[in-house]
Structure 1
Amino acid sequence: MKQAAPLLICCACAALVPFPANAADFRFTPNITVSEEFTDNVFETAEGKRYDFITRLLPGLSLDYKAPVLDLSVAYNYDYRYYARNSRSDDTTHNLDARGLARIVDEFLFLEASDTYKRVSLDVSRDTSNESLFRNQSDQNIVTASPYFVISTIPHYTIKGGYRYTNTWYKDPSGIDKTEHRAFADLSYEVTKQLSLTGTYSYVIEDTAESDLNRHEAMAGGRYEYADKSFVFANGGASRISYRGGDTFTNPIWNAGLTHAFDSFTVTLSTGVQYSEDPLRASTEETFYSAVFDMPLKRGALNLNASYSDFVNTATDERETRRYGGGFTLHHELTQRLTGTLGFAAERYEQNLLDAYTRKFFVDAGLRYELGEGFSLGLTYRYIDYHSPRIVADNYTVNRAMVEIRKVF
């Protein structure tokens, strides 16, 4: 499986869009960011810490185009990194999020396509992308194309069906490239303005270098809006996974939640089963539970969150990792131009195969000042603390300090 170069895709998308007569339908915005970072543990090791200064140059662009037959959005930047003490000789990457929607037959036949390129954590249960620039990570490129139809002419009913092709590529040799073919059908029935019922079915064929599988998923449920901006939903069903030449597993799946808007804050509770994209597995099933508290403040916002996830290798139907976590994020407008951010997260990873656990603390603090004329200045400090009684490599701390200047043209 080969990846398409993100820069070429980005330029091609921009070149194919004709400049419209109405400027409101088209927006093209270049930008550039320059930053300098100091880290006291660039390789995030328990012993033999090595510090370094990292210079980053990120030229980029954003493009939005809307027309009767086509919507297109592209956000891209090239990320060049220079390590002053030669910790790494070449560490450049791309960040691309390109999406398009073509209306082939008005209000009936559509074509969606997307290309997402970014650096991701190789461990599906532990996101390291905000903690390090490269440790245990790989560049990932996901290309999708989905023709589908929508029938909404029958009163109270909406029928949607189609096909989705997904190609997933990893730069790191340990990452497992995947090709997925998905046929899907969705039916929704609006009982009242507040109550709707839904049913979904999908059939997936996934091919990887590790193994091939087929998956059936079927769910039914509904959504009820019992007050303004307050609703509850629940869907349940089953998933049947068959590994070609291997075992077959049938498991219950669900997706449910509650959002209640109080006068001064909002609470969201959710739970479900999803098949998370795992760079090191053909398929990983994640069962999750989460609670989120959002409170808008007079000059900012406060977010509190707690979560639990259970990761199961579907090839063996065995639990591999449990993750518990919680934390908060506070945004505050100190002045008209100066904004501060403070965040804290604590997580615990229980690894069943090793009969061991790891604890993590993560602190993220920052200031951003709007200089005017599209310029902004940012200061960020991040502290990471890992501890494990049995896993030696999971005992280290990292201090990172960054300063950046950004210009939006």
Structure 2
Amino acid sequence: MRNALLGITCLASVAALSTGAPALAADYRFTPSLVVGQEYNDNLFQNARSPVTDYVTRVQPNLALKADGGGFAAALSYGIDYRYFAKGSRSDEFDHRASMTGAFKFLDDFLHLDLSDSYSRVSTDVVRDVVTESLVVNQTLQNNALISPYVTWRLPGDSSLKTGYRYRDTRYWSGLGIDKQEHDGFATWSKEVKEGLVFSTYYSYARVTTSMNNLDLHQVYAGLRYDYRPGTFIYGNLGYDWQRFDNGASMNNPFWDVGAGHDFGVVNAAAGTKVQYAEDPQTIITRTVTHYASLNRSFSRGSAGFNASYSKFDKQQRAAGEVQKKIYLGLNGRYELLPVLAMTMNLSGDRLQGHRGSEYPYHMTGGVGLDYSLGDHVVLGTNYTYITYRNSFGSTLGGVEANRVIVEMRLTR
């Protein structure tokens, strides 16, 4: 059943929040919120030939509950996103968002149980995340649930062994995605060699089942992490994985996660390279290799950041040779013009190599926004965003352009 894990997570979290002596010792926080806004979009469907203009009214109430203490931490939130399209480009829509997490400890921190479930909109293609720039384009509804019991063994010599099981269930609505179920057994051994220096090893076996094919995945790695001081660290995990599909295909790959960060005082820098298997609605498994760097600086009245990355997306079990590469650059900043008035700015662009025929190689966005605080609980905000997809960096010919203007009021308790 699609909602089975959602119900299990909800019931377990509610039970912890409402019953038992440990729950009485927890700290609770209930936060209702409401966002009411109006959006103008001159190319709602991001179409190059026949752009559609519409005005979208949005009403977004949300309820959130958090509790921590007494051997558990739990958080639940539920929101509705009502959308009214004034010019009738789409019918009225009700979107639902839900997020639930629970972490429970028993027997003096020996036995653990982690639960989570999220229901939200995601992009149908992991190569370009478009959820923040569009209400309707290339998106699907995803439910991702996780149940993970595990035990932590305290061993001699400042070392520990964590052994456990994970069950993950990922499902998509509207037929735009491949449903997946995963059974995963894992073991992690770690030892603090000296203060701030930790050595660890990891092994996992996962069985992934889908309507397309099934997969056995083995992963093993060893790694070190050294936290020299706050804001300064270095770590490296090196390993190997083995993939065996039921249709006879097999793949063996090295994988890694290596990174470092340093606080120079005037700027905080980080860089790294990693391999990960991100959830992809279009495939059973997508191997992503990413090299990244970032610079961030905080000011007395704001902050600024720069991000750069080069990623390679290998959509395995898809068409032969379907590998995409993406270069991404991004700038962002926030500055308090007045104690009650803040300005935000962002500029980003990416370039695809190996893109499919329906995709544009260049994608750029830029935006500026203002937030005006009317008090501790009410903020008026406005934001302008320009979005463009192009065949050539310097020309809009045959490309897509969209302008979004959003005005909204945000209320929190």
**Hey, what does 2:407 align to over in structure 1?**
403
The equivalent residue for 2:274 is 272
Shift, 1:373, TM fit: 5.0
Matches within 5 A, 1:166-205: 166-205=168-207
Indicate conservation of the 8 Å contact 1:69/1:104, yes or no. yes
How has the CA–CA distance of structure 1 residues 27 and 393 changed in structure 2, closer, same or farther, with 3 Å as cutoff? farther
Q: CA deviation at 1:353?
A: 5.5
Query: Could you tell me how far 1:194 is from its partner in structure 2?
Result: 2.8
Counting aligned pairs with the same residue, the percent is 35
Contact 2:267 2:297 in 1 (8 A): yes
Alignment partner of 1:364 is 2:371? no
Whether 1:78 and 2:73 are equivalent positions in the alignment is no
Instruction: Report the 3-state secondary structure (helix = DSSP H, G, I; strand = E; otherwise coil) of the residue aligned with 2:361.
Output: strand
**Cα distance between partner residues in 2 of 1:171 and 1:393:** 35
Equivalent pair of 1:378/1:404 in contact (CA under 8 Å): yes
Match of 2:130?
A: 128
User: Distance in 1 between the 2:102 and 2:193 partners?
Assistant: 32
CA shift, 1:6, in A, is: 6.8
**Residue 42 of structure 1 pairs with residue 41 of structure 2:** no
Deviations 1:188-244 (A, max 9, x none): 111111322111111110011111101001111201234443111111111111101
How far has the Cα of 1:70 moved from its partner?
Answer: 2.2
Against the structure 1 CA distance between its residues 394 and 116, is the aligned structure 2 distance closer, same or farther, given a 3 Å change threshold? Answer: farther
Report the CA distance between 1:364 and its aligned residue: 2.2
> What per-residue deviation string (whole Å, max 9, x for no partner) do you get for residues 131-182 of structure 1?
1012110011101100011123533202111011111011131310110111
| CA distances 1:17-45 after superposition (whole Å, capped 9, x unpaired) | 22899797111111111111000011110
Asked whether 1:330 is paired with 2:350, we answer: no
After the TM superposition, which of the residue ranges 198-207 and 85-94 deviates more from structure 2? 85-94
Q: CA deviation at 1:263?
A: 1.5
- In the alignment, structure 1 residue 286 sits paired with structure 2 residue 288: yes
| Amino acid paired to 1:377 | L
Alignment map for 1:200-211 (pairs within 5 Å):
200-211=202-213
Describe how 1:89-238 pairs up with structure 2 within 5 A.
Answer: 89-238=91-240
Paired letter, 1:360: H
Determine helix, strand or coil for the equivalent of 1:92: strand
Code of the residue aligned with 1:108 in structure 2: it is F
Gaps of 5+ in 2: none
Measured in 2, the distance between the counterparts of 1:35 and 1:355 equals: 32
For 1:134, the aligned partner's letter is V
Equivalent position amino acid for 1:384 in 2: I
**2:50 match: secondary structure:** coil
| Count of residues paired in the alignment | 408
- Which residue type is aligned with residue 248 of structure 2? G
TM-score of the aligned structures, taking structure 1 as reference length: 0.93
Given the superposition, is the C-alpha separation of residues 298 and 219 from structure 1 closer, same or farther in structure 2, using an over 3 Å criterion? Answer: same
Range that drifts further, 276-285 or 359-368: 359-368
Rounded to whole Å, the distance in 2 between the matches of 1:107 and 1:394 is 60
Deviations 1:224-283 (A, max 9, x none): 234443111111111111101221110110000010111221100011100010001000
Change (3 A) 1:101 1:118: same
Runs of 4+ in 1 over 3 A off after TM superposition: 3-16, 19-24, 316-319, 352-357
CA RMSD of aligned residues (A): 2.5
